[in-house]
Structure 1
Amino acid sequence: MVNRGYGHSKNSSILSRRSSLTSIALCMVVFFAFSIVGFIIYSRDILADEERKPAFAVSEDEFKSDEERKPVLVVSEEKFKYEKIREDAIWEVPSSHGLHSCVNRTPQYKDAQRGNRYMTVRSNGGLNQMRTGIADMVVVARLMNATLVIPQLDKKSFWQDTSTFADIFDETHFIMNLQTDVRIVKELPKELESVPRARKHFSSWASMSYYEEMTQLWKDYQVIHVAKSDSRLANNDLPLDIQRLRCRALYNALRFSPAIENLGKKLVERLRSRAERYIALHLRYEKDMLSFTGCTHGLTQEESKELRILRENTNHWKVKNINSTEQRINGLCPLTPKEVGIFLHALGYPPWTLIYIAAGEIYGGNTHLSELTSRYPNVVFKETLASKQELKSFSNHASQSAALDYIISIESDVFVPSHSGNMARAVEGHRRFLGHRKTITPDRKRLVALFDMLDSGVLEEGLSLSRLVLEMHKNRQGGPRRREGAPSGVKGRARFRFEEPFYQNPYPECICGSKRAAKT
């Protein structure tokens, strides 16, 4: 009995275990099936959420620190193509339509004649005002059949620069490069130093006939001293050979000194080592410019007062009382650092863009500059590119320092001036001459209206602003066009003042191509 009982109990135990295993297996199958169904439903929800996401979606990762947290961009193919096209466009050079620089002499042009008549010149203004003025004086000497004495540079301007011609320019190259056009000497002959001179303020924007009349001065004088050099020659209606001589003088003969050229080249190379491309920004937010124009938007009362006192105490600045608001509305004020930042962002330049500031000391220092660097932190000056030792010889010589800015601006991928001053015009013209390199000239009058709309909340930064700014500047990229005349309605000699300067756009005389090469 005992043995049977034992066998029956054993069989029952085995059957019980098999039943339990079967139940467990069945439960696992059911659980697995439900898991699959749940996963499918969950996946569908995720896909549905992804379809509802915008083209650019940033993932949230709350468990990481700020430094570790990196946005993940989910970009649609269409949006990606648009952004890629836009990125290429912001650096794209305007088509030159086959145009090229041309400064060759015509068959009728004759070599310079040697004589015993001399012209001395005092060049006034800053670097670029002096440069264009000297180029004009080369032409005036040619027209009056005079030997040009190397000009004396302005030492009484705002910067009080004591630099001589040879400190800034390659004197020997200047003389030799123009030897067939006009005779140039370094000094007035000793025997003529004490003779009476005809001291003249030649008329602004003068024509050929004016200087033909001025040759009457040679009857009584052997030396003519020109007290001012800037804007002494008309922009238009001059013979082709005369206009091309201006270009040869400015773009070929007036080469900077070897010391300036060498350092300028090094600084360009250092910029290229930091980024593939860079913007040269002529940020004319300097004390003298703000005081001269009377522009005080965004400044404190103390700063505005300081600029007003400077303007009142500067004798050769004729206009003393200026309405800052009217100046700004009319587009006559330099863009502020903040406005430049908004402008560049609207054009599509990303925050990491390398920007070289081609300017002197920014008024207010970092207080105002930070309004730009908060948007574009990759901002550099020559002081951050060059060592103190390299810049030592340039200290207290504003014109030599400005020459470095000029070289870097000419070689930049994009040049943006915040105001249409002498340097802005000279650089724009030179870049046109070199093949219409990209130069974006802000339409300040129309931009101010947009900036005021932003301040009032009527408009917000984003795609709408960007479209407005891009449309506004699609034809302000430095592409080929003929030099503009005076606005309609301006008559008499006043029209000369409002013509586009020759050195801002030397087309068509110094830029040639087929008749269909560019729009007129």
Structure 2
Amino acid sequence: MTVTKQRLVDRLRSHGGKYIALHLRYEKDMLSFTGCEYGLTDAESEELRVLRENTNYWKVKKINSTEQRIGGFCPLTPKEVGIFLHALGYPPSAPIYIAAGEIYGGNTHLSELSSRFPNLIFKESLATPEELKDFADHASQTAALDYIICVESDVFVPSYSGNMARAVEGHRRFLGHRRTINPDRKGLVGIFDMLETGDLLEGRELSHMVQRMHKNRQGAPRKRHGSLPGVKGRARFRTEESFYENPYPECICGSRSKLEIT
């Protein structure tokens, strides 16, 4: 039996109607590629370093993990995602579909999210082995399932702004600016560090800070950002916001662009 988009979405909605799709880029290759080691053990960090050193087509071999994190270039950790979603006001019972490959460290790291949001849902629990067997060993097809479920979700949250996350955001904008919460990873570092040192406690103050920071980062209609001032040549195109991330205004009609986020 071949699994279908609507079948999976219907099953997700049976868990409570609405659901959050979380694109959790906490995978071995992503952490190794970005050089992000925050929250990992020494052994895990060394494993990622060796992988990066031995992957020929990755040009950058030596990366300062601390600078990466401070600059907002690291995926949010499962623990940070849990804190973030809770601060935004989502209840522990919220169904969250995990769109991802194998989470690095398995339950050791994933438990830092599931302890806050126990209603985590994976492809393997949503579909039968028979339905998924045609997708085995086909990463692109499995990613396509995640893509569809993310597009159809009530809320989409990417832990890292990769190609798939940008494409999903653009698709959701085209369909009526569906709620897409894009974490300000650079801004959140300071908040997470204050929590770590005890200078800030979880509660009303934290929620206020996070919600204020993300008031305008939830997929509301806005024109696509152009290139940075003073940048010329090919570099100009690299600083522009991707059309696939935000096709407004060219590919969104006037009436659709005025839709409110629900």
State the TM-score, normalized to the length of structure 2.
0.95
Alignment partner, residue 120 of structure 1: none
Separation in 1, partners of 2:236, 2:206:
35
Decide which of 285, 297, 303 is 2:26's aligned counterpart.
285
1:450 counterpart = 2:206: no
Choose from 204, 217, 226 the match for 1:476. Answer: 217
Aligned to 2:70: 329
1:332 CA displacement: 0.3
Structure showing greater radius of gyration is 1
CA distance in 1, matches of 2:47, 2:228: 35
Describe how 1:110-259 pairs up with structure 2 within 5 A.
259=2
1:170-195 per-residue CA deviation (whole Å, 9 max, x = no partner) reads xxxxxxxxxxxxxxxxxxxxxxxxxx
The residue type paired with residue 467 of structure 1 is: H
The residue that corresponds to 1:397 in the other structure is 138
| Aligned mates of 2:258, 2:127 — CA distance in 1 | 41
Q: Deviations over 1:138-186 (max 9, x none)?
A: xxxxxxxxxxxxxxxxxxxxxxxxxxxxxxxxxxxxxxxxxxxxxxxxx
Amino acid at match of 1:405: D
Query: Secondary structure of 1:504's match?
Result: coil
> Helix, strand or coil: the match of 1:503?
coil
> Within the alignment, does 1:294 sit opposite 2:32 as a pair?
no
Matched residue, 1:355: 96
Determine what percentage of the aligned residue pairs are the same residue.
74
User: Gaps (5+ residues) in structure 2?
Assistant: none
Q: Which 5+ residue runs of structure 1 have no aligned equivalent? A: 1-257
Looking at structure 2, the residues matched to 278 and 460 of structure 1 have their Cα atoms a distance apart, in angstroms, of 28
* 1:78-97 matched pairs, under 5 angstroms: none
CA distance in 2, matches of 1:333, 1:490: 25
Residue 106 of structure 2 is matched in structure 1 by 365
Report the TM-score, using the length of structure 1 for normalisation.
0.49
Q: Does structure 1 residue 384 correspond to structure 2 residue 122?
A: no
CA RMSD after TM alignment: 1.5
Please state how far the C-alpha of 1:493 moved relative to its aligned partner.
1.8
- How many angstroms apart in 2 are the aligned matches of 1:433 and 1:474? 21
Provide the residue aligned with 1:462 in structure 2.
203
In structure 2, which of residues 165, 178, 194 is the aligned counterpart of residue 437 of structure 1?
A: 178
Shift of 1:315: 1.2
For 1:277 and 1:409, the matched residues in 2 are separated by 12
Aligned letter for 1:346?
A
For 1:455 and 1:491, how far apart are their aligned partners in 2?
A: 41
- 1:23-34 aligned at under 5 Å gives the runs none
- CA displacement at 1:486 relative to structure 2: 2.0
* C-alpha spacing 1:481/1:305, structure 2 compared with 1 (3 Å): same
| C-alpha distance after superposition, 1:251-284 (max 9, x if no partner) | xxxxxxx95xx52221111011111110000000
Partner of 1:492: 233
How far is the alpha carbon of 1:491 from its aligned partner? Answer: 3.0
For 2:236 and 2:115, locate their aligned partners in 1 and report how far apart those are by CA, in whole Å. Answer: 43
**C-alpha distance in 2, partners of 1:368/1:498?**
34
Q: What amino acid maps onto 1:438 in structure 2?
A: R
Alignment-derived partner of residue 410 in structure 1: 151
The Cα of 1:517 is off from its aligned counterpart by: 5.1
1:339 corresponds to: 80
- Which runs of structure 1 show a deviation greater than 6 angstroms over 4 or more consecutive aligned residues? none
Describe the superposition over 1:459-513 as per-residue Cα deviations: whole angstroms up to 9, x where unpaired: 1110001001001001011010011012234333212111111100011110121
Q: What amino acid is the match of 2:149?
A: I
Aligned residue type for 1:422: N
**Is 1:314 the counterpart of 2:59 in the alignment?**
no
Q: Which letter maps to 1:363? A: Y
Q: Structure 1 residues 517, 309: CA separation in 2 closer, same or farther (over 3 Å shift)?
A: same
What is the distance in 1 between the residues matched to 2:60 and 2:236? Answer: 21
Q: What SS class does the counterpart of residue 501 from structure 1 fall into?
A: coil
Deviation of residue 301 (structure 1)? 0.8
